[in-house]
Chains A and B, each alone.
Chain A
Amino acid sequence: MPSTTETTTAVRDRGGAATAAPPGSPPSRTRRPGRWWGWAFLAPVTVYLAAFYAYPLYRNVELSLREYTVRSFVQGGAPFAGLDNYRTILTDPAFGSTLTHTVVFTAASLAFQFTIGMALALFFHQYFPLSRTLRALILVPWLLPLIVSASTWSWLLNSDSGLVNAALGVVGVDPVNWLTSPGWSLTSVIIANIWIGIPFNLVVLYSGLQAIPAEMYEASALDGATGWQRFWGITFPLLRPVSAITLLLGLIYTLKVFDIIWIMTRGGPTGSSATLATWSYRLGFGNLLPEFGPGAAIGNLLIVLALIAGLGYIRIERRQQLR
């Protein structure tokens, strides 16, 4: 597929503008209206972006800078509070642990999703009967609505009647209160999130593997390289750009994860599985008395983290396109 960011448009545009060109005018002037014409097709999306991305973002920043109550939220007139909401959040005793949970949740999810996804991609990259069908089936967890996955895992990890505890009982391990003990709740939501993320890693890494020319493997096979040497010598280095993108996209997605945690544990018990995303939701929507200001402040911290990751992603994308 050709790159979409090509800069040489002069030749392509001439065909479109030629019919409308008045005879005798210089070519540079005839090209212009044709080029601006494109914005007629972009106008809906531009208006949409302004109304439904930029404006909500602006409202969110505004929420975080004012002192909102339920009444002022409806009627307006909330006093300007400057950075008070941010101060409230940063000095909250829950801030440290929530940030730690976010980091642990993200790092553990990424590490396992990527490793397992890579192993499966390598396995399914070989040809064997049914490989295509089975690879397609593994996508199922990724396509299921998160509420479905989260409630299924809730039942699997149920303390009394869950299958996981029953299986542990068979090998003589005492039942674990997966979702209801502060020591295990974070692990439980991480397990579910890893399961959901494996297919995505598998698919992207698999497409990366397919781009590696088979001759490279044939050459190394002639040199007598073992499978392990081939992986570290060819596959891994050639897959590095794709791996970087997979991990960065995973990072962006994982920072956003809210549904799974909220449905399985609501961030509890006592905040033991709360991340920045669930904390923000709890403040804004999870209490009878909403605290929109601090909730929005956490949201804005989260967006800064996501954007840093996003800029990293774009850098890598660009570098790949240049090659």
Chain B
Amino acid sequence: MTTSTPRAWWKTGVGLVLTGLMLFPVYWMVNVSLTRDQDMRASPPHLFPTNGTLDGYRAVLDQQLPYLGTSFLVGLGTVALTVALAAPAGYALAKLRPPGGPALSFVLLIAQMIPGIIMAMGFYAIFLTLGVLNTLPGLILADTTLAVPFGVLIFTAFMSGIPDELLQAAVVDGAGRLRTFWSVVLPVSRNSIVTVSLFAFLWSWSDFIFASTLAGGGDHQPITLGIYHYIGNNNQQWNAIMATAVVASIPAAVLLILAQRYVSMGVTAGAVKD
């Protein structure tokens, strides 16, 4: 695994090139967001925003703030509901092991495989009857379906690693199961709560299909629809479209920087158990 230093630096160079290639579209998005309208159709395109403008970002501030606010609220609601549903379930599956638990895990695994379009159509029919179409609670409910099965999976995997002695000590101290869960299991599981919350927020933030089918006609539309309408109505102002895209990517960027550890934990735990 160890190599001499000059060779390792040569590899860093290759790694930089590969990363640069993969991230080039992201760079291009930032570049276009800073390009002036009159330079947009320049041939060849400007590789750097030499005559940069912040007009695109000004347009975002003028027009997209309500969309961003909606996405933020929906994201927070989704996180709260997901953790509230998934954490107790993870505890039960990992530590209480009730009869029928494995069958429920199986159902959760299957639930993750249902295509979004099918859920959207079913939700549309139900929401119409319930009158929650185009409302924030409706969208929050729909968005939690993206994260709840994943959340239970992560919590189960994590909580089965909590030593039984710790839980037994709580019982000896006279704590009931609810209290053990609240005062021992939850605090110890902080990392998995962070992981699940991050993904729940990110998925609801990125959701397009539920937004467009269940909130497309309402006053409260998330940022994905903000961008989508922008592309549809406004083919000219690509700097504004790309500026909105940059702003909409900020949660992902922040997430990656602040929570690198949790991100890769989430990705791998979702697929491979080691």
Q: Are A and B subunits of one complex?
A: yes
Residues of A within 8 A of B (CB): 1-5, 9, 12-13, 15-16, 18-19, 34-42, 44-46, 48-49, 52-53, 55-60, 63, 73-74, 120, 123-124, 126-131, 134, 136-149, 151-156, 160-161, 163, 166, 169-170, 195, 198-200, 203-204, 207-208, 211, 214, 242, 245-246, 249, 252, 255-256, 258-259, 262-263, 277, 280-281, 284-285, 292, 295-296, 299-300, 302-303, 306-307, 309-310, 313-314, 317, 321
Task: Considering the complex, give the chain B residue whose CB is closest to the CB of A162.
Answer: B45
Q: Which residues of B contact A321 (CB under 8 A)?
A: 273
Q: Which residues of B contact A52 (CB under 8 A)?
A: 123, 141-142, 144-145
Number of A-B residue pairs at CB separation under 8 A = 334
The answer to whether A148 and B249 touch (CB under 8 A), given A136-B260, A166-B43, is yes
Residues of B within 8 A of A (CB): 1-3, 8-9, 11-12, 14-16, 18-19, 22-23, 25-26, 28-29, 32, 40-45, 84-86, 88-89, 91-102, 104-111, 113-126, 128, 141-142, 144-145, 148, 152, 156-157, 160-161, 164, 167-168, 171, 177, 181, 202, 205-206, 208-209, 212-213, 223-224, 227-228, 231, 238, 241-242, 245, 248-249, 252-253, 255-256, 260, 263-264, 267-268, 271-274
Main secondary structure of the interface of A (DSSP, over half): helix
Distance between Cα atoms of A120 and B18 in the complex (Å): 8
- Shortest CB-to-CB span from A89 to chain B, Å, is 14
Checking A1, A38, A170, A214 against B101 with a beta-carbon cut-off of 8 angstroms, the contacting residue is A38
Of A145, A246, A300, A303, the most chain B CB neighbours within 10 A belong to A145
Structural contact, A141 and B248, CB atoms closer than 8 A: no
Q: Which residues of A contact B157 (CB under 8 A)?
A: 1, 4
A-B contacts, 14 of them at CB < 8 A, read A15-B167, A15-B168, A59-B125, A127-B3, A131-B11, A134-B18, A145-B248, A145-B249, A155-B29, A263-B228, A277-B115, A281-B209, A284-B213, A310-B109
Q: Which residues of A contact B42 (CB under 8 A)?
A: 161
